[in-house]
Amino acid sequence: MKIFLNGYMGCGKSYIGEKLSESMDYPFVDMDSQIEIMEGRTIHEIFQKKGELYFRKLENEVLKDILASKSDMVISLGGGTPCYGNNFDLIKEDSESRTVYLKASVEVLTERLFLEKVHRPVISHLETKEQLEEFIRKHLFERAFYYNQSKIIVDVDHATSTEILEKMNAKLT
């Protein structure tokens, strides 16, 4: 089984993905990290030097490679991965794949991301919490259509990683 975690940046896809992979004894794959390794540069550098279209093509290639693998694994998608091209359709069509939306509220995302915005090139230019909240609200509105197609939706607001994993495991079995 392949378990694809999706949701907005800051919802905990990488952290929860690592914990889930440990508990299930599955390898963990972070799509953004895979792309960075493949390209030998950061996502930010890829966007700057090659542009978003180039990045989205890479993302689609990495996704297809993951889907072609016969191995069980936990995969953390990039926040925008399900929203571009046919990415989410490819995942949903794969009989061995399960999709999990780690759903966080705008308020929780704003609090989390404001503290780490210097490490997030997409939002580093936003100076106030109000600007960040507006940015997140707009993106969530645009992406909710895709995120909400996940087979499993787990509310992560104010939940510990243990509680999130328990909710996920109950729905995955």
CA distances from 81 to 58, 129, 159 (A): 11, 25, 25
Q: 80 among the known binding-site residues? A: no
143 is in an annotated binding site: yes
76 annotated among ligand-binding-site residues: no
Q: In what order do the strands lie in the sheet with 97-103?
A: 28-30, 73-76, 2-6, 97-103, 152-155
Q: Is residue 120 annotated as involved in ligand binding?
A: yes
Tell whether residue 137 is among the known ligand binding residues: no
Q: 71 a known binding residue? A: no
Cα separation of 86 and 81, whole Å? 10
Query: Is 32 annotated to bind ligand?
Result: yes
Residue 98 is labelled as binding a ligand: no
Contacts of 129 (CB under 8 A, 6+ apart): 110, 114
Q: Is 17 annotated as a binding residue?
A: no
Residues annotated within a binding site for ATP: 10-15, 120
Residues annotated within a binding site: 10-15, 32, 56, 79, 120, 143
Residues annotated within a binding site for substrate: 32, 56, 79, 143
Residues annotated within a binding site for Mg(2+): 14
